A = this chain, B = another copy of it.
Amino acid sequence: MDLTAFHQALDTYLRQQMPNYTLQLMELVSIPSISSSPAHGRDMTRILENMRDIVTRYGFRARIVRTPGHPAFIATLETAADRPWVVIYNHMDVQPAQEPQWNTDPFIPVLKNEAIYGRGSTDDKGPALAIIHAINFLRTQNLPMPNIQIVYETEEEIGSPHFGAFLDEHGDALQAPASILVSDTIFEGDHPAITYQLRGMQRLEIELKTGSKDLHSGLFGGVARNPLNDLLHALSRCVSDDGQLTVPSLLEDVWPLSPEEQQELDKVAEIFSLSKFDQDSEQAARYSDDSRDILMRTWHRPTFEVHGFEGIQSTPGMIKSALPYQVKAKVTMRLVPGLEPANVVHKLQAFLRQIDPGIQVIDRGGSRPVVTALDNPFMEKAREACTFGFEREPVFVGSGGSIGALPEFQRVFPQAPIVLIAQSLMSDGYHAPNEHFRLEQARRGIKTIAHYLTSIADFRG
């Protein structure tokens, strides 16, 4: 590839097309596709219709697909019969935007200081649209690229509950991809970032029943078991007082870090901004002060978080003295490679039953962690593309969060490495008020993705 010519062609494209990109993104952001709000159900279809109009203009065949939940979307662009296929995944739904700190209406996008402000601008509509333009650039320039299938969903922000079912039902509309490209992650400070690992998540209820009615705590207290007291004891043995999972049978399943992973971790620890972390958490108290340890905990260690209880008193300002008889804890665990949801539920149940045989662990749904080997050749191409497009060597990062669709892709297409190239900046306000996407990030994102796609045009991994 003649990089200078490529660059010049890209600059020409961007000069011509960025006004178009801007208007398209503003229109996308104006559709309040809040997946968690039943009142906005119709907006899921509207946003996909809008995207269908855009991609069909750029040569795709596209269709909106019903699921038991909000709809999904498949768009296909065949470039050459002998080329491999690539799946590109984004989501078109957005978080709610009720924070009082918004300076403008979150669904009336504004262009200000070379950035588009509005809910969904950076998560995930702006990056998705940048990919479309990268493809359109390659197409109009007749540059090589793989055959492409775009998959959009509109349930990412609610945990992608139907994405697995969608893949099972409509998978035959998808060609087995050589790899999967995702742009729904964030730079590490000023550094472009390629995410090679995401934690999975297990939702659990942990139940203990010791009786059949509320009891008078005077007449029975101290003799009749208080299941809430007892469950607190059991739960406090699952997690240390410095916030780490302590169930031995689970810890022994966690994969150790490879030397390459250690190296990448050390690199990121050096550029990690604790003050940015604290700013994002609004100065929440932490279990750790050490950058490397913080990254280890976020990327590579499982969590055990108690979020609440049922069967207990929760009315503000009121304390009734009656003893509960059946309580349930609401727990989530973030899972790292080595921890499979079904096995986690099973081993946790065994651990808790040793403490109290009456404890029931109820599986409320889990997703596997996602990992792409660092030494995968697609990763090398992604590194080169970031260095070209963002003009800076990327770092390889893990993520503590989950993208619900990705474990489903890994289940259905286990051979296809998932490559996550970030276009968003930490300061863009993911899930926060005044979310925005800078046009400069869009331009660089388009360059990066164009470079990446053309470099893997014939790449089968």
Binding site for B on A (CB under 8 A): 199, 201, 203-205, 210-213, 215-226, 228-230, 232-233, 235-236, 239, 241, 243-244, 277, 280-288, 294, 297-298, 301-310, 312-314, 316, 318-325, 330-332, 334, 358, 364, 399-402, 431
Contacts and interface: CB of A to CB of B under 8 A. Distances in A.
A294 B218 contact: no
A226 B221 CA distance: 29
Contact of A232 (B216, B235, B312): B235
Contact of A314 (B211, B219, B308): B308
Contacts of A286: 223-225
B282 A221 contact: no
A243 B218 contact: no
Contacts of A331: 319
Interface-central residue, A215, A314, A320, by most chain B CB under 10 Å = A314
A243 B217 contact: no
Contact of A282 (B213, B222, B223, B283): B213
A243 B222 contact: yes
- Pick the 5 closest A-B CB pairs, nearest first: A218-B401, A308-B313, A211-B284, A308-B312, A222-B297
Nearest to A320: B307
A286 B227 CA distance: 11
Contact of A307 (B218, B303, B324, B330): B324
Contacts of A314: 308-310, 312, 314
A304 B199 CA distance: 38
Contacts of A302: 222
A243 B224 CA distance: 8
Contacts of A205: 319
